[in-house]
Each structure stands twice: as C-alpha cells, then as structure tokens.
Amino acid sequence: MELFNENSKLASVILKDHSLLPVINRLGIQLGFGDKTIRDICAEKGIDLNFFVETINVFHYEAYFPEKRLLDFPVSMVIDYLIKTHRYYIDYLIPENDRLIELFLLASPDESTDNGLVRKFYAKFKEKFVIHINFEEREMFPYILELNAVITNPEIRNQFTKKYPDFSITSFEKEHSQMDDKMDDLKNIIIKYLPPNYDQNRGNSFLANLFMFEKDLKNHSRIEDHILIPKVKQLEKLLESHE
C-alpha cells in the first residue's frame, strides 16, 4: 500500500482514496486546491504538516500506525481534531443515516415487523454512540486538557489534584466495543435476515452510508486508543515524577 507524503498532490490523493474527503475537511481544507502539494496547502492554511500527513495515512492504510511520530503532537491538537470528527458524525452522518434508513424502510412493500426490528437495532446503536461521544466530550477530554494545562502551569496543580485525586486516565477509559457491537448487530440483521422483497437500491444506499460511517468511526477510535490515551499516560507519568 502506497503511503502519502508532503510532496503528494492533494488532488491525486483524493483521486486515489475519496474516503479521505471528510478527513481533509475536518483538518481545515475544502476542494479547489488545483495541483498544489500537501506541503503548500498546509503552509497556506496554517495546518500542522506532520499531523495532516499522519492522519490521512492512518485513514488510508489500516495497518499503518505511526504511534511514535503521532505522540509528538500536542494533545490539544488531537482533541480538536477528534471533536471536529464528533461534530461531523452528529451534524451530518447520523442525520444522513436517519434519512436513508427511513427511505429504505418506507420503500419496503409492507410495514412489517422486520422494519420495526431494523429500527430498533438502529436506535440501539445510536443510543450507545451518543452516550459514548457525550462521555468523551463532557468528562474525558476536559480531564485531558486540564492535565495538559497543569504540565505547562504547575501553579494550578493543587486545584487539579483536588478535582482528580487519582489523576489516571484508566478511570475514564471506556471501551469502544459496546458501540462496535451494536453496529455489528445492525449490519448483521440487515444483511442476514431481511426478507427478499425489501427495496434493494434503497437498502444498498443505506448500507453504503453505514459502512462509510463504520470505517470512519473505526479510524477515529484507533486515534483515541493508540494516540490520545498513550499520550495522556505519558503526561500522567510526567506529573507523577514532579511530585
């Protein structure tokens, strides 16, 4: 698998892998970049070049995980990117899935119990997904940003340890498996058990969107588990050693 680098033209990157479109949007780039290279575009837009290249490669090639290089990025930059991804899911992908699943189910000849079952599994996935995102944004990310602030400003250390006596990310770590399991259940029920008279084109278009969501979400979770968490553990060790 070919990896991209700072000399790659962004247009040819997108032609090779169009699933990177929402990723470059989140990183601050819209279409219309002509023949410019990644290096030129990042310089123009003030985007961190290494973070950009590593992130698109992580998405492009599943076996690629440059954990050591990614650990060099400031934690606030990683969190900013993760929150933008959450917004993309909440503001766009979920409403788009809502729309496509309804088009699909309404086009099925009879409003059968199967439709109800698909809706139920979809609702279960969404519920776990929203709980997960809210937990990260309301509890885990604020803890990490506060930890990061103490490292640069030791004066607020007492305030921080009062609020988080254990100051350990392990008490915040939530597995992604619950959310992933609900996604698997939903895909399974649709692929294995739908009656043959459902509307195939609408079904395919809903599934295509769902698979895209799944792929994006998997890569998002990889960044959290393999970049963010190890980075936080590093910061915690640093704080401990200053005791």
Residues 174-213 as x/- pattern, contact with Fe ion by CB under 5 A: ----------------------------------------
What is the token pair recorded at 15?
A: 């032609």
- Listed ranges 7-15, 22-30, 58-66, 131-139: which one lies at the site for Fe ion (CB under 5 A): 131-139
User: Which is nearer to Fe ion, 108 or 219 (by Cβ)?
Assistant: 219
- Listed ranges 53-61, 139-147, 190-198, 220-228: which one lies at the site for Fe ion (CB under 5 A): 220-228
> Treating both helix axes as pointing N-terminal to C-terminal, what angle do 200-223 and 94-107 enclose, rounded to 10 degrees?
160
CB atoms within 10 A of CB 209: 16
- Rg, Å, the chain Cα set: 21
Task: Please give the Cα distance from 122 to 120 (Å, whole number).
Answer: 5
User: Which is nearer to Fe ion, 177 or 188 (by Cβ)?
Assistant: 177
User: Which is nearer to Fe ion, 136 or 236 (by Cβ)?
Assistant: 136
Residues in CB range of 201: below 8 A, 6 or more apart: none
User: Which is nearer to Fe ion, 54 or 224 (by Cβ)?
Assistant: 224
What is the smallest separation between the CB atom of 221 and Fe ion, expressed in angstroms? 5
What is the smallest separation between the CB atom of 59 and Fe ion, expressed in angstroms? 15
Task: Please give the Cα distance from 113 to 223 (Å, whole number).
Answer: 39
> Is the sign of the CA dihedral 51, 54, 57, 59 positive or negative?
negative
What is the smallest separation between the CB atom of 86 and Fe ion, expressed in angstroms? 6
What is the smallest separation between the CB atom of 108 and Fe ion, expressed in angstroms? 33
What is the smallest separation between the CB atom of 2 and Fe ion, expressed in angstroms? 28
Integer CA distances (angstroms), 109 to 43, 137, 191, 196, in order: 54, 41, 18, 11
Contact flag: residue 224 with Fe ion (CB under 5 A): yes
- Listed ranges 40-48, 105-113, 134-142, 151-159: which one lies at the site for Fe ion (CB under 5 A): 134-142
Beta strands in 83-124 (DSSP E): none
Provide φ and ψ at 14, rounded to 5°: -65, -35
Contact flag: residue 216 with Fe ion (CB under 5 A): no
Q: Quick one: which of 185, 205, 38 has its CA closest to 123?
A: 185
User: Which is nearer to Fe ion, 114 or 136 (by Cβ)?
Assistant: 136
Query: Residue numbers of the site for Fe ion (CB under 5 A)?
Result: 136, 224
